[in-house]
Amino acid sequence: MTLQGWTLILVFVAILVGLAKPMGLWLFALYEGRRTPLHVVLGPIERGFYRLGGVDPAAEMGWRRYAIHMLLFQLALLLFTYAVLRLQGVLPMNPRGLAGLGADGAMNVAISFTTNTNWQWYSGEVALSHLSQMLGLTIHNFLSAATGIAVAFALFRGFARRETGTVGNFWADMTRVTLYLLVPICLVYALYLIASGVPQTFLGSIDATTLEGAKQTIALGPVASQEAIKMLGTNGGGFFNANSAHPFENPSALTNLVQMLSIFVIGVGLTWTFGKAVGNPRQGWAILAAMMILFLAGVGVTYWQEAAGNPLIHQLGTAGGNLEGKEVRFGVAASALFSVVTTAASCGAVNAMHDSFTALGGMIPLFNMQLGEIVVGGVGAGIYGFLLYALLAVFVAGLMVGRTPEYVGKKIEGREVKLAVLAIAVLPLCILGFTALATVLPQGLAGPLNKGPHGFSEILYAFSSATANNGSAFAGLTAGTPFYNGLLGVAMWIGRFFVIVPVLAIAGSLAAKKYTPATAGSFPTTGALWIGLLVGIILIVGGLTFLPSLALGPVADHLAMIHGQLF
């Protein structure tokens, strides 16, 4: 580890915390439906969308109606994308003449992008046309991100409102978030990327002559527009197979820093928005503090392990950190930081090969996803996932002090706790259940490239990534088979919507409750004790649930490494 590496990490955190309130203020304006400076230009477009769709933005919805509209919209998007991918070979904007995807592959990709996962079993530059990238995938990058933020807004209203049966209007939330937040930022962001050297063209490829005189075909396309929203919306799908290690996606150290900040910026902003929505910004700062503690702990372990390197390599006379699978333009520190950022959010973009990390260095990204990516998390998904743990924490605190738990003025009773536990339990049931299935069936065992504990980690990582809607991979797993396409598709769908529906049910239940003022006997939820309890509950629940699987994978892999055992 070096001073330069730690400086990068601390500068990143400082900038991020500094952006929390400005981003939170903008999100709060959208949450309340307030007029913004962009309404002068975009207001007529917003009203036009409502007229076209027959939507009354002032008409409030109960949680059931909100959930039904959301699910039907996602299903329609999924079927549309499936059709685009299957018909790719006969559709325009296909300069390389690529054929349509097979049925299982197209369905996997459609589910992947609908759920904000962006898991990719294919290489983007050799499998998808420009139309598929833009119309089939990039649209999802905007709308799946907007869906997550809309659900977070609904939950915020559940906490903030008193004795009402409504949690907002799904279509109004979606439209405002997309039109006034995601599109304007991505427009500026894409222009910055183009100026930095990221391609934005309808050309299919160009031919270049190498220094040795050989011909090389270099794939091109509308990269910058997809790159901007893939980062801001914590989507993560790469235009190129090498993702953010590719110089056309991530040309420099500065773009690398901007990409990491853009992955987190909406997530940290939503913590401040939550505090403002419930009338106490300190509540948001407490959540952000807990997130940053978990994040810095993860970065510290990953950076330490990657900087320490592999002792088996050291015995051969080569000292230094673990550079296998890393882009030398970024090095160990920036690669370790990026890996924790992208898995602490539901992003999945990578600038290094996680499969080549040391055993414990690769365990932290894996564990981040198994926690449900609540450490800042995806846009919307991170904060509503974190609030599920907050409900669990106040329930535990209530048991300890012997009174009905309360959080931000709402009594947390049996219905809310049961729904929170149901949503939290979705991830381990799906991750561990599907991993177990894949490790006993021949179709599953045919996937891992490596043997022993590392091969097990490849399978575990894949289902953790899919269920947590991350999309990154250990990449040693051959996942483009009917078995993995099907099972991972089911995991992605369950991990997204089997969490969202209980969250909306909690929002509806809380919105109907009356406000309960804090008293001398109330457990404070803004101080150091609360932050410590939150962090402890998250680690205990995650540790008890996933420790056995981690012991079979990364921990066993690490012990084998230090004892010189090879597979």
Interval 393-434: pLDDT, tens: 999 888 877 777 889 989 998 899 999 999 999 999 999 999
In a domain, 216, yes or no: yes
In a domain, 511, yes or no: no
Q: What is the mean pLDDT of the chain?
A: 91
Q: How far is it, in rounded angstroms, from Cα 359 to Cα 343?
A: 16
In a domain, 335, yes or no: no
In a domain, 100, yes or no: yes
Instruction: Give the 3-state secondary structure of residue 122.
Output: coil
Residue 564 confidence (pLDDT): 79
DSSP secondary structure letter of residue 51: H
Q: How many DSSP H helices and E strands does the chain contain? A: 22, 4
Contact criterion met (CB below 8 Å) for 240 and 248: yes
Query: Total structural domains in the chain?
Result: 1
Residue 519 confidence (pLDDT): 75
Neighbours of 361 (CB within 10 A): 28
pLDDT digits (tens, 9 = 90+) for 297-356: 999 999 999 998 888 788 777 778 888 889 888 999 999 999 999 999 988 899 999 999
Residue 398 confidence (pLDDT): 84
Mean pLDDT of 365-389: 90
Q: How far is it, in rounded angstroms, from Cα 404 to Cα 397?
A: 9
Closest Cα to residue 117, out of 505, 539, 499? 499
In a domain, 243, yes or no: yes
What is the 3-state secondary structure of 430-477?
A: HHHHHHHHHCCCHHHHCCECCCHHHHHHHHHHHHHHHHCCCCCCCCCE
**Ranges of H-type helices in 167-252:** 170-177, 183-196, 223-232
In a domain, 226, yes or no: yes
Instruction: Give the 3-state secondary structure of residue 211.
Output: coil
Contact criterion met (CB below 8 Å) for 142 and 231: no
Q: Which domain holds residue 44?
A: 25-252
In a domain, 88, yes or no: yes
Residue 401 confidence (pLDDT): 72
Tokens 């990364």, located at residue: 554
How many residues make up the chain in this entry?
Answer: 567
Mean pLDDT of 446-464: 92
In a domain, 487, yes or no: no
Q: Tell me the pLDDT band of 214, cut-offs 50, 70 and 90.
A: confident
Q: How far is it, in rounded angstroms, from Cα 385 to Cα 470?
A: 14
208 pLDDT higher than 90: no
Q: How far is it, in rounded angstroms, from Cα 165 to Cα 60?
A: 9
Percent of the chain with pLDDT over 70: 100
Rounded to two decimals, the pTM is 0.93
User: Which residues, other chains included, contact 446 with Cβ-Cβ below 8 Å and sequence gap of 6+?
Assistant: 478, 481
